[in-house]
Amino acid sequence: MILVLVLSLFFSSVTVFALDSIGVDNNVTLYDSQYKRLLSVFDNMIQNLKVKDNIEKMEISKIKTAFDFAGNEYTIVECVPTGYLIYSNGTGIFTECATDTLSPYIDYDEDIYYCGPTYYYAGTLKGDAQHTVLTEEIVDSQNIEGFSQSCEEYYSVLVENKRQDVLNYVTCGTQNKSYGETIQRDTTPSGIVYGEVLNSEYFYDMVHCGYDSGGICGYIGLGLLISYKEKYKTGNYMDDVYWYDSSRTGLLGGTQSLARYLRSLGSSNDTMSTSIKNVSEDYFENRGVNVTHTSILLFFTKNKIIECIDEDNPVLLFGSFENPDNGESINHAVTVYSYWDAEGDTLFTAHFGWDTEEPSTRYSRIYVYGLRGSMYVLE
C-alpha cells in the first residue's frame, strides 16, 4: 500500500522521454529512487515488446495515473510513435500493452478510470464516466460506485497472481541496477511460451471487422469467428454478401453486417458465452450446418485458452462489468488468437472488434492479462 501512495505523488501526468532524463546521485530521495526503478520495469517490458513485434522504436512519452471505480491504482505509460502499457501498481502486473496502437487515454490527462481491458473511461463535467473509445458508452455518476464490485473482482485476479519480485525491486531494489539486470531469466523454459492460430495475420491485419454501433460486440466477435472458419476451413459458414470485398480480408459493417444479422437472432445487445452459443446454434441450424462449439461460463483457466489456440480455434472472451445495485451490466467481448509469455506472465493477443481504418487506433493486436467472464469457441 505504501507503493501506491508514493507513486501517486509523481504520476498525475508526467512527461518522460528517456530513463537517463531522471537525474540520480548519492543524495537521491527514497521516492525518486523508487520512481527510477519503476521506470526501469517499464523500459524492460518495452524492450521485450520491441523484440517480439520486431520494431525499432518505442519510447516512453507520457505517464498518467488512473484508478478503477473501487480506488485501485494503475499507471498508463504512453509511448511514441505508438504503443502503451497499463501497469497495476499494487500487484506489479502489466494488465495490457500494445506496440502499434495509441493509448486509449491519449486525449485525456485527468479523471481517467481503468477497469480492466476494454473498460476505459474518463470523467465528464457532469460527473459521469464516458468510454474514451466507444463514446456512446457512458456510466452515470450515480452508478459508478455500484460498479466497484466488478472492479474488485478483476483486481482480485491480479492479487492472486501478484508479481512480488517486481514490487520488491521497485520498493527496495539495487539502486544502480536496472530491472533487466536484476531479474533471473529462465533460459530453459519448461513449456511453450508462444503460440497462435495458423492464420493469425487475418485478425492482426484486418481493417474492417464487421462493426456496427449499439453495444453488440459479442455478435461482432461471433462474426469474426465465423468468418475465420469460412475463409480457412471447408464448410458453409457464411454467405459472401457479408465480406467487405472479394479479397475476403474484412467484413462488411453497419446495418448490412453479419453482426447485425446475428443480433436479430439474439434477445439482447448484451451477451455472454451462453447467449452467443444459443445464437450460433440458431444461425447454423438455419443454414443446415452441424458445428462443434463450446461455451464455458466461469470455470476455465488460461491453459484452456492456450489449448484452443493451439488447435487453431480463436477464442471469444467476454468481460462482465456489473452493477448489482440495479442489475445494469456492460459486457464487452474480444477475440483472442495468440498468446506469449512475458517474464512469467501469459499475455493473450486480442482483437477488440472496434472498426477503424487508422492503424494506430485499430486495437487489433492488444496484449491482455487477467481476463474475466466467460469464453466461447467455434471449432
Given phi > 0 = left and psi -120 to 50 = alpha, else beta, which region is 320? beta
pLDDT in tens, 101-143: 999 999 999 999 999 999 999 999 899 999 999 988 999 999 8
**Domain harbouring 257, CATH code:** 3.90.70
Residue 20 has a pLDDT of: 40
Residue 223 has a pLDDT of: 97
Residue 187 lies in a domain: no
How many whole angstroms separate alpha carbon 323 and alpha carbon 143?
A: 7
134 and 80: one domain? yes
Look up the domain containing 50 and give its range.
2-182
Residue 248 has a pLDDT of: 94
Residues in the chain: 379
- In DSSP notation, 312-372 reads T--EEEEEEEEETTTTEEEEEEEEEEEEEEETTEEEEEEE-----S-GGG---SEEE----
pLDDT in tens, 239-292: 999 999 999 999 999 999 999 999 999 988 888 899 999 999 999 999 999 999
Residue 105 lies in a domain: yes
201 and 155: one domain? no
Residue 6 has a pLDDT of: 28
Q: Which residues neighbour 65 within 8 Å (Cβ) at sequence distance 6 or greater?
A: 7, 8, 11, 12, 13, 73, 74, 75, 76, 112
157 and 200: one domain? no
Is this prediction's pTM over 0.85? yes
158 and 206: one domain? no
Burial of 267 (0-12, 13-18, 19+ CB in 10 A): exposed
Q: Could you tell me if 348 and 301 are in contact, meaning their C-beta atoms sit under 8 angstroms apart?
A: no
How many whole angstroms separate alpha carbon 73 and alpha carbon 75?
A: 7
Domains of the chain: total: 2
How many whole angstroms separate alpha carbon 283 and alpha carbon 258?
A: 11
Residue 188 lies in a domain: no
Per-chain mean pLDDT for the chain: 85
Helix axes 217-232, 273-287, angle to 10 degrees: 50
40 and 123: one domain? yes
Asked which of 155, 182, 209 is the last residue of a domain, the reply is 182
